[in-house]
Amino acid sequence: MPERVVEDEGKELKTYFFLLLENKILFLTTFFIVIALVFIVTKVTKPTYQSTALILIETSDKGLSFLPITDMNPRKTVINNHIEMIQSRTLFERVENAISNSGYMDSLFIGKYKEKEGRISYLRKNLMVIPVKDTDILKIVYNDRTPEDAFYITKIIVDQYYNINLEMTRGELSEVRKFLEEQLVKIESDLQKNEENLKKFKENNSIIELSEETSKLVEMISNFEGQKKQYFVEREMLLSKLTYLKENLSQSNKMIAEGFLNELDPFLERSKRELDSLQSNYAYFLSIGYDTTHPKMKEIKTRVENLKNNIIQNSKTSFQKKYFASNPLDYSKNLMDEIITVQLDVKVKESMIEAFNNVLKIFEEKMKKIPFQELMLARLERNKKVSEELYLMLKGKFEEAKVAEAGKLGSVKIIDKPVLNKSPVLPKKNRNYLFGFFLALILGVGIVFLKEYIDDSVKDIDEIERELKINIIGNIPSIKIKNGKQVSAEKGKLLTELPENSPIVESYKILRTNLLYHSDGKEPPKVVVVTSATKGEGKSTTASNLGIVMAQLDKKVLLIDGDLRRPVLDKMFKINFDKGFTNLLKGEISVEDVIYSSGIDNLWIIPFGERTSHSTELLEGRITKKIFEQLRNMFDFIVIDTSPVLSVADPTIISRLSDGLLWVVQFKKAKKRELHYTKKLLKNLNIPVIGFVFNNINTESFYGKYYYYHYYYHYHTKEGER
């Protein structure tokens, strides 16, 4: 059993091979067209150059606290955040601005886009960001028309993203530094103004020095005023920081934060009253001369710190229970904790400012008792001193902020900078040619098989035999002669024009044998109609050659041209005639007067006669049956060539007077649906079909099922001689 399966598979493979061989022109045409198209496309495709860079992402929340990081997969979230940021419009707007300001825009391919939107779209289209598997590294890939463009723009993209990341990391510190810088300018201006006012006052008035008591009072007021302004500046810094933190929340978290802070305000106000009391005591003890190291002062500081920590902890716990637990994937915990802490620090600073305001009111009352000129001088001295102390304090904090900002590093590290790569990445010529080869191969084979699939012509004689249940009694091959031309039975070649050992000659002899001995002991047919389903299938040639091989048996054979629509036998046998079959049917002439010699021993012909438009009526006439009875007595074998069955009714009428019908089918031309319809028609008319004669079988194209004919052809040709 396995051997049989292997044998069947082998035959099937051979069938496929010979199918391709038969359609080699179609296959090769498709193959070379595809190859040519791939070659042309590869040649005309403008080269694309690529530059790459590698950056390392630190997956802590440094510099990214404003981004939601979940507990489920924080590393993956951070990496994805960076990928989206690199592909964002914000980055490419900065890249486009950097290119525009560089002065190189006109020398780059991107410069052909006149509109900014077109340039940004071009940049974004050519960028790819690829995460390196199992690492925190991103590969930035940029493609462009020239290697210089790719290198230059990749460098700008990497630099701009590095700067954006650095700005985001330093964002909070940068805001503080900018605020202090603005305040320094303002305080410096105030200091200069206060110094100028003091100088003018001393020049215009006789009093140039304060009394010792007034000096001490001014010193104390200046200290308190300076501390109050310090707290005021610190509060403004905190408010600036708070604004920055809130801006970095997502839109949904902003709403959550605002709602919670509104809920938190009443609680903070209640706590603030206790803070105000403690801060007032602290300011009072300062006003009566207590040093900050005094036990009472330390106690107040400790109580304030404890109260502050308690408020912060309770606030964070309350927030997490209400919001964080129910929405863990859309919330940045660290950021919100910081907002709560800053919000409370603002309240603490406000409490201290209010406490110092109360103390300063007491000292202002004391100042009113000083003589007017001395009071004016005291106020000028106080303003100058407060401005000096505040300026020095801000200057120190500004320097600290600059150092802190400079020391803050981003979460992006550049590992590999882009390099100039002068080898194009596209088109990949070798890959394209290899792909084109396989594509051409697949399409070539596919088109051949598609053609075979949609082709309804007869390609498998065994299949037709099974489906129509009609025996095959003859197969007429086509052969190649020395000049390479195809010779086939339907081209009007008579056997007398072919070599005696021609496969076609032998095929007709086999047909003759099958016809005479196919009837299982019954009398062989004497009158045979030869027809086909449609025109052009070689029925006339088959009828003629069948008559020739029958005559070679020393039998008296008659060949009748019954194709009254398109007669050809007179031309094939080169017969000149005056009267013929139609004249005989009309009763105008006797049988003996229409029988002509074919020029071949034992073979006579009745040509078609005069053309008529009433052939069907003539064939159905009473005389027709008598004519055929007379002919039966005169000849041993009669072959009638008729019109195609699907063209006219003539063949079905004549077939009733015959012993059977030979059905000629041209291989790979006759359509299956036509054969099925013809079979149905013949069956309905009870016309006996002797069998199929398959015509024009190309023995070089098929091996398996038609092995016998293939073998026979080679046996009777020089190539097959042994």
Segment 666-692 mean pLDDT: 90
d(CA 197, CA 554): 152
Given this model, what pLDDT does residue 180 score?
76
Given this model, what pLDDT does residue 360 score?
73
3.40.50.970, 3.40.50.300, 3.30.300.30, 3.60.9.10: CATH of 465-583+602-620+639-720: 3.40.50.300
Given this model, what pLDDT does residue 530 score?
96
pLDDT band at 280 (very low <50, low <70, confident <90, very high): confident
d(CA 134, CA 130): 12
Closest CA to 506 of 223, 215, 712: 712
User: Would you tell me how many other CB atoms lie within 10 Å of the CB of residue 333?
Assistant: 19
Closest CA to 140 of 107, 112, 167, 162: 162
Given this model, what pLDDT does residue 484 score?
47
User: Which residues lie closer than 8 Å to 657 by C-beta, 6 or more apart?
Assistant: 527, 624, 625, 628
d(CA 249, CA 266): 23
3.30.1890, 3.40.50, 1.20.1070, 3.30.420: CATH of 49-170: 3.30.1890
Given this model, what pLDDT does residue 14 score?
79
User: Would you tell me how many other CB atoms lie within 10 Å of the CB of residue 66?
Assistant: 20
Tell me the per-residue pLDDT of 618-659, one tens digit each, with 9 for 90 and over: 888 888 999 999 999 999 999 999 999 998 888 999 999 999
* Contact indicator for 667, 697 with CB cutoff of 8 Å: yes
Residue 708 pLDDT > 50: no
Segment 307-321 mean pLDDT: 68
* Contact indicator for 24, 421 with CB cutoff of 8 Å: no
Segment 274-283 mean pLDDT: 72
Q: Which of 204-213, 667-676, 688-697 has the lowest mean pLDDT?
A: 204-213
Residue 255 pLDDT > 90: no
Given this model, what pLDDT does residue 237 score?
78
Quick one: what percent of the chain has pLDDT higher than 90?
Answer: 37
Do 465-583+602-620+639-720 and 49-170 fall under one CATH topology? no
Q: Which of 109-118, 210-219, 245-254, 478-487 has the lowest mean pLDDT?
A: 478-487
Using CA atoms, how far residue 485 sits from 26, 481, 491, in Å, is 19, 6, 12
Given this model, what pLDDT does residue 425 score?
92
Closest CA to 587 of 625, 555, 554, 550: 625
Given this model, what pLDDT does residue 328 score?
42
Residue 374 pLDDT > 90: no
Tell me the per-residue pLDDT of 391-428, one tens digit each, with 9 for 90 and over: 787 787 777 777 776 767 778 999 999 999 999 998 99
d(CA 391, CA 401): 15
Given this model, what pLDDT does residue 20 score?
86
**Domain parsing of the chain, residue ranges:** 2-45+427-453, 49-170, 171-407, 465-583+602-620+639-720
Q: Which of 198-202, 440-444, 552-556, 687-691 has the lowest mean pLDDT?
A: 198-202
Segment 445-455 mean pLDDT: 89
Residue 565 pLDDT > 90: no
Q: Which two tokens stand for residue 494?
A: 């008579």
Q: Which two tokens stand for residue 547?
A: 């008559």
Given this model, what pLDDT does residue 668 score?
85
pLDDT band at 196 (very low <50, low <70, confident <90, very high): confident
Given this model, what pLDDT does residue 531 score?
94
Tell me the per-residue pLDDT of 686-705, one tens digit each, with 9 for 90 and over: 999 999 999 988 765 544 44
Residue 482 pLDDT > 50: no
Q: Which of 76-85, 147-156, 173-182, 558-567 has the lowest mean pLDDT?
A: 173-182
Average pLDDT of the chain?
A: 80
* Contact indicator for 221, 382 with CB cutoff of 8 Å: yes
